[in-house]
Amino acid sequence: MSAHARPGGFDTRVQAALADPLLKLAIDRTTGTARTKRAAAVAAWPGFAAGRDLGRDIKDHVIDNLGHYLVEFERNALASGAKIHWARTGQEACDIVVAICRDAGARTVTRAKSMLGEEIGLPHALEVAGIERVETDLAEHIIQLAGDPPSHIVWPALHKTREQVAALFQSHHHDPGALASVEAMVASARRELRGRFLAADVGISGANFLIADTGAVCTVTNEGNAELTTTPPRVHIVTAGIEKLIPSTAHAMAMLRLLVRSATGAELTQYTTFHCGPKRPGDLDGPGEFHIVLVDGGRTRMLAEGLAEMLRCIRCSACLNHCVVYRQIGGHAYGGTYPGPMGSVLTPMLDGLAQSQDLPRACTLNGQCQEVCPVAIPLPTLLRGWRDRLWRDGLEPAPARLGLGLWRFLVLRPALYRLASGALIRMMPAFARGGWIARMPMAGGWTRHRDLPRPPSRTFIAQYRSRKPLP
């Protein structure tokens, strides 16, 4: 189950989101900038299309040879002095992290933003274990203060406007000062967090890439908080999904080019760090213990169930930023850890199809997500796959099933089809005023929000038949 099951059903959450003008403003500001910057970055890189093919091929190669690269990564990470832990489920992963924290006598942990951590419910597990968690990513800090789950995989606090953030800081920070500008807000967060970085017993991060031939873990941030999370504490724990593997540092470079441009439109993030093993003799800093928790969490099941292409995902969020549905309803309405198109593919796998059946359906299949995906994941095809499953499992609601059944019955019988469509368009003008129908029985889904054009008196086929003498 998702760590952040949201209250209400999908429709309720959608209604709440659509009724919130501040949410829309916040979404438009951030995704609008992201789209513009990504487009510029892609346009400025003539090799983008080739780079995208390469990225797809690298990920597919690793997915096809997952066992090989997992073993290679483990061997090299162990040689660097890291400890490797294998977790079949999110629960197992949380138990491992909590046990490491307890062994280290940890009271406070700092955490650098990790969507996998959200997926496995790590914030909740730490809370249950009585371990204080300090989120160090600025946006994660904001939503920790607000008590919200992330609403976006790159900008977790995307749903908060800067005005709302100022109010949050004003009431929670010890020394907020005048929060008149974004800079002042950042400075206040820095004052708040700086001491916490140095006082933490354990630092927990995710991974953008696990590099098989060195055993290193690569993270990218723009704030440097991952470095401050992983370096000063005695213990550094990495939690990572097994799909983060890539063969070598050179491959990481190929992926970074795609990831950063697709996410923020920059060529590189401010910080790209390779964490390899614990502090060695003679090192000035670094953690005494370095743990890597490798999480399956349904990923091998995705391989088995026709979702292997989804394991290419590098969590760049381009599909969210370009999705017409995400841009209207925001991340929380989706109800799972991951929102947007990639979330609508992943959540049924992670939380169960019955609970998240609206997600694959609430999509226009317009294909823009696939177009902008830096590893060419066929998201619409995968969403259609979930719809096939919903239909097979009998989860399609009765009215839709019935309607489609009737449609199918007629479509397979052309004479009846002509009769029925002729009757329908003869009936419809009774509801029309002039050329438009503003309300009609059974058509509320359409006419609640838009008018329906009045059909002609006869169908095309009927008109064509009478125009042309039959042979």
In the complex, the residues that contact other proteins under the rule CB under 8 A are 14-15, 18, 324-325, 328-329, 361-368, 370-371, 384, 386-392, 396, 400, 404, 407-408, 410-412, 414, 417, 425, 434-436, 438, 444-446, 448-456, 458-461, 463-465
Nearer to other proteins, 271 or 417 (CB): 417
- Cα torsion 423, 424, 425, 426 to 10°: value is 40
CB of 58 vs other proteins, minimal distance in Å: 24
Strand partners, 276: none
At position 8, the amino acid (one-letter code) is G
Nearer to other proteins, 279 or 389 (CB): 389
Nearer to other proteins, 121 or 331 (CB): 331
CB of 6 vs other proteins, minimal distance in Å: 16
Nearer to other proteins, 18 or 54 (CB): 18
DSSP code string of 326-362 = HHHHTTGGG-SSS-HHHHHHHHHHHH-TTTTTHHHHS
Nearer to other proteins, 274 or 446 (CB): 446
Distance CA 68, CA 268 (A): 30
Distance CA 150, CA 460 (A): 51
CB of 420 vs other proteins, minimal distance in Å: 10
Return all residues near 315 (Cβ < 8 A) that are at least 6 apart: 115, 153, 154, 208, 342
Nearer to other proteins, 174 or 450 (CB): 450
CB of 13 vs other proteins, minimal distance in Å: 11
CB of 126 vs other proteins, minimal distance in Å: 35
| 426: helix, strand or coil | helix
Strand partners, 210: 217, 245
Nearer to other proteins, 128 or 404 (CB): 404
How far, in whole angstroms, is CA 144 from its chain's centroid?
19
Closest CA relative to residue 243, chosen from 294, 302, 311, 337 = 311
Residue 152 is classified by DSSP as S
How far, in whole angstroms, is CA 467 from its chain's centroid?
55
Nearer to other proteins, 55 or 360 (CB): 360
Residue 279 class from Cβ within 10 Å (0-12 exposed, 13-18 middle, 19+ buried)? middle
At position 431, the amino acid (one-letter code) is F
CB of 364 vs other proteins, minimal distance in Å: 3
CB of 18 vs other proteins, minimal distance in Å: 6
Nearer to other proteins, 105 or 405 (CB): 405
Distance CA 150, CA 118 (A): 8
CA angle 378, 297, 255 (to 5 degrees): 50
CB of 398 vs other proteins, minimal distance in Å: 13
CB of 418 vs other proteins, minimal distance in Å: 8
